[in-house]
Amino acid sequence: MLNLKIRNPLLKIVGKERLLEKPEELACYSYDAYFEEAMPDMVLFPVTTQEVSAILKICSTHKIPVTARGAGTSVCGASIPARHGVVLCFSKMNQILETNTKDRYIIVQPGVVNIDIQKALEPFKFFYPPDPGSMNVSTIGGNVAQNAGGPRCLKYGVTADYILGMQVVLASGKIVEFGSRNVKDVTGYRLSGLFCGSEGTLGMVTKIILRVVPLPETIKTILVTFDNLDDTAKSVSDIIGSGILPVALELLDKTTINAIEDSANLGLPVEAEGSLLIEIDGVKEACEKEIQKIIEKVETNGATSIQEAKSDEERDKLWEARRTAFGVFAKLAPDIFSEDVTVPASKVPEMIRKTVEITKEYGLKVGILAHAGDGNMHPMIPADKNNKEEWEKVEKAFVEIVKAAVDLNGTLSGEHGIGLAKTQFLPLVMSQDSIEFMSVIKAAVDPDGILNPGKFV
């Protein structure tokens, strides 16, 4: 428990309804979707920027660690209070402040759930493209902190590409704002790019102006199967290399498809070694032309079946299957090691081959899942963390997978983030000077290191 000198002023800011401090309550904020855990000393639910500012003032005076949380769906442990202290949970700061599709923006508080933004825009026939697998539950604050991606980011870009402006409370409690409602804005540094993806280590985002785009006229979704993984992967680089830009190009291997099918019974092709879920959107005529081109490409690569979603219902089913993939793997073993290395699209076939080789070498089971169109790999290794021997193998295999990705000009994480999961691997992809430069920025903005300490910087 926090010293009463600190506790009482904090209580005064939010009131007892929005402060948690009993062990059974705190325990609920000790985890997210990553497998490590750490107990906070207190959980606060601010609802205004002023409250956030007042809380941070007190915390920085007393050097209390502060970790932001939304819905707690981070898969890299970004919202785990590794150094205890205060968890600032934004789930109740969840108002949509302005929807303006004429000028193509929406202004939201950080606790708004991604899907609620979509629902608010739908009547105007607009949408907000970034669609992380957790979109039905994760908050936009978390999406911004992690620079969340998702399947359709292949065509539309990631969270950072949609931030026009934001309001941020710094560690000191100072409130700063930058950006505007304009797509073109070169007034000062583009700081949204700095805070987006900072995983709560630089400041607390309290208001976000997001760019929104019109819903496409037509969407076409197909599921293609292959009888080997190589052909599947090669189709990906062929499609991307041909100049077509699908909305999404998802790759699922046999293990993954079977895990999903066991759980959801959707009638997925369980025999196929590899499947591609491909979606394109745009004007009807263009879509038809593009889907033809795609079909040619996959047929050249030996596709064994091509199935088109005939209704919204069928399309939803396919995507639902894809979205539950992470969860269904939990059935296979007590823990899942979910990877997120990313390589240029042309290197996807090689990366998949390497991943299979490496896991085989260590005798591990692996499910290959990938936002393959942008090279964002999600191999998943079901294992038991309590089985020391097995877990050591998992960690060793992981290092080799990362190294393989780096050799292919890839990177450590495409969309999950670094958090607790990958800090030690940063030197594999960043020079000492580059890592130090991040520390310099961190020290300038948060000199006492109270914001999400214990993480990558």
- Which residues here bind other proteins, judged by CB under 8 A? 20, 22-25, 27-35, 45, 71-73, 89, 91-92, 94, 111, 113, 115, 134, 136-138, 263-264, 324-331, 333-336, 384, 386
- Integer Cα distance of 348 and 233 in angstroms: 6
Considering the complex, what minimum distance in angstroms separates the CB of residue 454 from other proteins? 19
CA distance readout (Å), 432 to 225, 382, 426: 44, 33, 9
Nearer of residues 89 and 366 to other proteins, judged by Cβ: 89
Pairing of strands 274-282, 66-69: unpaired
- Judged by beta carbon, residue 91 or residue 100, the one nearer other proteins is 91
Least distance from C-beta 416 to other proteins, angstroms? 13
For residue 203, the minimal CB distance to other proteins (Å) is 22
Q: How far is the CB of 283 from other proteins (least distance, A)?
A: 30
* Cα atoms found within 13 Å of the Cα of residue 17, Cβ hemisphere only: 2
CA distance 262 to 270: 10
| Sheet strands side by side (includes 248-253) | 305-308, 218-226, 274-282, 248-253, 369-371, 376-377
416-449 b/e (C-beta count within 10 Å ≥ 16 → b): bbbbbbbeebbeebeeeeeeeebeeebeebbebb
Report the residue number, 24 or 433, with the smaller CB distance to other proteins.
24
Q: Can you name the residues that pair with 380 across neighbouring β-strands?
A: 338, 367
Distance between CA atoms of residues 361 and 393, nearest Å: 10
Cβ distance to other proteins smaller for residue 29 or 319: 29
> Least distance from C-beta 28 to other proteins, angstroms?
4
Beta carbon nearer to other proteins, 69 or 393: 69
Contact between 234 and 274 (Cβ < 8 Å): no
Nearest approach in angstroms of CB 40 to other proteins is: 11
Instruction: Give the type of residue at 409.
Output: N
Of 331 and 360, the one with the shorter C-beta distance to other proteins is 331
Question: Residue 91 or 307: which CB sits closer to other proteins?
Answer: 91
Q: How far apart are CA 115 and CA 386, in angstroms?
A: 36
The distance of closest approach from Cβ of residue 74 to other proteins in the complex, given in angstroms and rounded to an integer, is 9
